[in-house]
Amino acid sequence: MKNIFIINGHEAYEFSKGQLNNSLVDRLKNLLANEDFEIKTTAMKDDYNIDEEIAKHQWADLIVVQMPVNWMATSWSFKKYQDYVYSFGMDGRLCAGDGRSRQDTTKQYGTGGTLTGKKYMLSLTFNAPKEAFNDADQWFFEGKSVDDLFLPTHLNFKFFGMKALPTFVCYDVLKNPDIDNDFIRFDQHIKDHILNA
């Protein structure tokens, strides 16, 4: 049995209630329901206990973060979650500090992770169109990829010693949505990288 921890990083606003992100979380749970997985979840709208959240990270074989992209980054509530949960987990539960020590100055920064052997996946919803990325002729992102934009989030998990699965993205969800196709692509992504991995 594999243990999967799903974090719903959506912060609800009157103009953005989180239906797509909630639907993707539900879809993932349904895809895994008849397989050999145990699932735990946390949503930013929930009250949570820091020690319990750290324990979920330790328990999980795979962490899936489902979230919208807010101003080119995570929602403020997920950033707050990271600041609290991840900082308190630096006591050895998620990482043993930054990996360095005064006794051994050859150890590199960021090598203290204690969640080695575990994986994570980002699943993101964007207002930006797919064409805005990976193209040096595009003015705004200047050829950068989605994973370039989310390097800080990737580095948080790398800090714990975790390995990334390929990122999933729903693009252009406000001005030119293609949700039915997004769901088809999401299902295939989960089959390729989780169910059949």
d(C-alpha 150, C-alpha 157), whole Å: 11
For residues 154-179, give the mean pLDDT: 96
For residues 108-126, give the mean pLDDT: 93
Q: Which of 55-69, 103-117, 125-139, 177-191 has the lowest mean pLDDT?
A: 103-117
pTM over 0.85: yes
pLDDT class of 34 with cuts at 50, 70, 90: confident
All residues at 6 or more sequence positions from 5 whose CB lies less than 8 Å from its CB, including other chains: 39, 40, 41, 42, 56, 57, 59, 60, 62, 63, 64
d(C-alpha 157, C-alpha 163), whole Å: 8
